[in-house]
Structure 1
């Protein structure tokens, strides 16, 4: 089996090699122009964000399996793969703690206003103070706040554990437009109106694309914090910007954008705000999580090879 790994630089740790006999070809990255030539003789493709559609399947007549080193599979035309008999495999739950830690770190930064306090040190405000400390910015304690989690998978569950350890009340928010509210959940509207922090962990689909726009954000509790470590297109960036600028939102943390990497003139890159944290899709990226995603991806390849040798 000829295995081709198209994007090795998307991981900071090397992939282990399959145990079954194979030929291995690895590229640090692959452009659209390079793609067809590189996959022409591949039996198994290992990818992260490279897009595979009908044209790519036609260019890879030997292809039998696509293994993603990721959970999301929206970059692969799964219907076309099924029609061709190509197995598509992803990796789930490889690092829920990593993403949840990042979300919790953002919540702490924004509730304790760490970036703003640091700015007051460097602009001379602390040095000019009459007293030993500053009381410029109001802060709330986490044990007086409610976290709402939209998306009840492993990451949301891990974040709930972290938040409860800090004394936060935690609620799970039902999907928008749900005909009934599941046991242990609050309605979407109740979550918007009552949660001090809302963290997004839901998939991107036709129902959730652009969900947090002007209308939904306007229904959020004044001063609430919005955290998105899921998919960038869940939120509308102009709406986020407007809500922060009028102080309806108390803070925003985005680890994902709609285009990655974003152009320099992307709204969330070119605009800065002291209560807006933007990080480069790195919530998942602890070394242990990256090792896990590689180990699980190659485990799936080994299982496929064992079944098809």
Structure 2
């Protein structure tokens, strides 16, 4: 009896735009793809799967134990917080992720947000919409402070490939990067600044660390109180890193000058989210989790994803998390 080909299932392919090219895998297989997968659809779609590709579909232990055929979970992103890694370790399920694919895209998005906020571009755009220019009757008007990016101190939280790439690009446009030590660390490593001092010194705080129990609400009311009133916060890491309600408080009270947010605690976010509920604030810039998504980064992500799967089948350990 002929053995069936290994089944590769992509649970949420719509997270990758249609114009990004997928090459064939190097081994004979069945390829099954779905644009979206709800929790209720997992039982049908994962049955018989050996390789599962997922970006944001949650795969916890209670789900995975129903599908003993799964040998590899190929995460089509860097973050693995949607996968039960402990269960995978205990049950010999390999997990790989995508690393280093967005080291141009994310830093450019971060720096773009910094320029927009430091120069109050969004606020001035809103003022023109409201007719402020015509009322002022001058060739220009100054309703919001405009501060230079060059000479600013940028505190980078997270010193992985993205954090380092942001620091490099920030340096190129005249910013001074400092790397924040882990919050609560008893010792400060060489080349780092203590978490609290980094927040106090920074004109810009940018987050590039993973979301874990210890980093949830990493930036909240107490941390905003340490920052300069002229500082801006950029979060392109994970939504849970910053307490969203406390961020709105800090913006409205003037504890900080602005915020750029690309990630949210629940995605897609709706009006129940404090950030969306206050999106008319002139010092709040929101984007829908797209910092990683330049065309070149997306193609690189797909290429690495497919290489990870090919390497696993070939007995190699590329980008293995567990």
The TM-score bracket by the shorter chain reads over 0.9
Q: Distance in 2 between matches of 1:238 and 1:45?
A: 35
2:312 corresponds to 1:307: no
After superposition, give the CA deviation of every residue in 1:174-228 in whole Å (9 maximum; x if it has no partner).
1122112111221112111111111111122222111211111101112210111
**Where in structure 1 do 4 or more consecutive aligned residues deviate above 3 Å?**
none
Q: What are the ranges of 5 or more consecutive residues in structure 1 without an aligned counterpart?
A: none
In the other structure, the counterpart of 1:244 is 251
Matched length: 308
Counterpart secondary structure, 1:110: helix
In the other structure, the counterpart of 1:173 is 180
- Cα RMSD (Å) of the superposition? 1.5
Q: How far off is 1:232 after superposition?
A: 0.7
After superposition, give the CA deviation of every residue in 1:80-127 in whole Å (9 maximum; x if it has no partner).
122222111111111121111111111000001001111222222222
2:13 corresponds to 1:27: no
Counterpart secondary structure, 1:3: strand
2:144 corresponds to 1:133: no
In the other structure, the counterpart of 1:94 is 101
Q: What are the ranges of 5 or more consecutive residues in structure 2 without an aligned counterpart?
A: 1-5, 317-322
2:298 corresponds to 1:293: no
After superposition, give the CA deviation of every residue in 1:249-305 in whole Å (9 maximum; x if it has no partner).
100111111111123321111222110111111111111111111110110111122
Q: TM-score, normalised by structure 1?
A: 0.95
In the other structure, the counterpart of 2:224 is 217
Counterpart secondary structure, 2:43: helix
2:73–2:95 contact (8 Å) kept in structure 1? yes
Q: How far off is 1:16 after superposition?
A: 2.6
Match of 1:42 among 31, 38, 49: 49
Counterpart secondary structure, 2:224: helix
1:225–1:250 contact (8 Å) kept in structure 2? yes
In the other structure, the counterpart of 1:201 is 208
User: Counterparts in 2 of 1:142-181, with a 5 A limit?
Assistant: 142-181=149-188
Deviates more, 1:135-144 or 1:239-248: 135-144
Counterpart secondary structure, 1:300: helix
Q: TM-score, normalised by structure 2?
A: 0.92
